[in-house]
Structure 1
Amino acid sequence: MIDEKMVQKDDKGIFSLTQKGSECAKEIYEKHCFSYELLVSAGIDDKLAQKEVCKMEHDLSEESFQKLKELFKNMNAPRNR
């Protein structure tokens, strides 16, 4: 992660996230939360959903994530009557 400029190490040996690392962490967390809600909404058991989400949050491409978010948003939007 240091090579990818996501973390830095100070003179005391303490690691911290860089701006890039913080942005990456936020993106992964957003995917985690969304994927969990998606799976639970589909009726998947909480324990299994947590396990599956750990895989999805790292492997789901940004393009697929955005399209799924849009689909989920449209499915949950109030319908005009």
Structure 2
Amino acid sequence: MGSFSIWHWLIVLLIFVLVFGTKKLTNIGKDLGGAVKGFKDGIKEGTSSTDAPAVPPQQVTATKVNDPNTVDVDAKTKS
């Protein structure tokens, strides 16, 4: 009752081809494949960066420079 046969899926595919055309379906397939590939590459890059040793952050020197573009501000929390 809840399962579709192959004929149902072929009719649905035929309607999709008639509505969207083969060129749009091809473009959608290429876009979807590119998105999946980009996702996989992103996952690989994310896991490979954890295997590499962490580089310590650079230390900032405490020299005061009188730069006219620098604004000195004190951040306060609102209570």
TM surpasses 0.5: no
Question: Normalized per residue, which structure has more helix?
Answer: 1
TM-score (norm 2): 0.32
Question: Normalized per residue, which structure has more strand?
Answer: 1
